[in-house]
Amino acid sequence: MRLLLFVLLSCLSLVANASRIQVAVAANFAQPLRELVANYQQLHPDIDIALTVASTGKLAAQIRQGAPYDVFLAADARRPRELAEEEIGVSDSVKSYARGVLVLWSPQADLNLTPESLRDGEIEPLALANPRTAPYGLAARYVIDELDIPASVQLVQAENVGQSFHFAHSGGAAAAFVAYSQVRELSGSLWQIPENDYPAILQQAIQLNPSPAVSRFYQYLFSKEGREVIQRHGYRVADAQ
C-alpha cells in the first residue's frame, strides 16, 4: 500500500512539474514575452509560465550554476551558443527570435537628441546598461565611443535596459539608451540610432529542458503568431529562424 501511495505521489509530482515552465528572459524582451505568454495560456490554460527578468549575462551565469530554467531568451547570440557548446540545454534548439533596435530616449519633450548634441556634451547624464552583461549596453557603449562624446559627460550605468529606462523615466538621467520596444508608445524625445552605427543585436534563445510541454511553448515563440507579436513590439524578425 505504501509503495502504491509513493508511486501515485511521484506521478502527481511529475505532472505538476510538467505543467510549470520557467523562462529566463533578458530585460528588454520582458514586455513582449508577457503578451506571448498570455496568448499561449489562453490556448493552454493548464500551463503555468513563470518569468525571471534580468540581464543576459546574469541569467547565463545563473544557468551555469544550475538555475532550473526551461527556456532562455537572451539579448545576444553569444550566450545561447556558448551554453549549447557546453552541452547545457538542447544543443540544436538555438534560434534567433528577434533583432533589437537601440534608441536614445528621454521623457522630456522637444529635447534635441542628435549626434551633434551628444558630441557637444549638451545631454547629460546619459544612462546605459552594463556593457559587460547587457548587449544593449554594449551597443550603447559602441555608439558613445564612435561619437567621441566628451569625457566630461556623466554616464550612469544600469544593470540592464530596464533599469536604464528607469533612470531616465525617474529623472536620474537626462536620457537613456534603451530598446525601442520599451518606449515605442511613450511620449518624450527619441533618437532611433541607425542600425549600421552599432553591432547587430541579434537575440537568440535556447531550450534548456527537452520536455514535450516546454517544446510546445518554445515552438510557439517562433510561430507566425509569435513573430507577429514580436514585430508589433518594435523588433525586427527578418533574421529569425
- Give the pLDDT of residue 152: 95
**Distance of alpha carbon 88 from alpha carbon 234, whole angstroms:** 30
% the chain with pLDDT above 90: 90
**Distance of alpha carbon 92 from alpha carbon 48, whole angstroms:** 25
Collect contacts of 215-224 with beta carbons under 8 A, ≥24 apart.
Answer: 216/44, 217/21, 217/40, 217/44, 217/47, 217/49, 217/71, 218/71, 218/93, 220/36, 220/40, 221/36, 221/71, 221/73, 221/97, 222/95, 222/97
**Distance of alpha carbon 82 from alpha carbon 123, whole angstroms:** 37
| DSSP string across 38-80 | HHHHHH-TT-EEEEEEE-HHHHHHHHHTT---SEEE-SSSHHH
Q: Which domains does the chain have, with CATH numbers?
A: 2-99+200-232 (3.40.190.10), 101-197 (3.40.190.10)
pLDDT at 11 over 80: no
**pLDDT tens sequence across 89-118:** 999 999 999 999 999 999 999 999 999 999
At residue 10 the predicted structure's pLDDT band, cuts being 50, 70 and 90, is very low
For residues 163-172, average pLDDT: 97
For residues 118-131, average pLDDT: 97
Lowest-pLDDT range of 10-14, 46-50, 185-189 = 10-14
**pLDDT tens sequence across 173-227:** 999 999 999 999 999 999 999 999 999 999 999 999 999 999 999 999 999 999 9
- Give the pLDDT of residue 19: 81
- Give the pLDDT of residue 215: 97
**Distance of alpha carbon 87 from alpha carbon 172, whole angstroms:** 42
**Distance of alpha carbon 139 from alpha carbon 193, whole angstroms:** 10
At residue 49 the predicted structure's pLDDT band, cuts being 50, 70 and 90, is very high
For residues 69-74, average pLDDT: 98
Which pTM does this prediction carry?
0.84
**Distance of alpha carbon 108 from alpha carbon 111, whole angstroms:** 6
- Give the pLDDT of residue 238: 61
**Distance of alpha carbon 45 from alpha carbon 24, whole angstroms:** 20
Question: What is the average pLDDT value for the chain, to the nearest integer?
Answer: 92
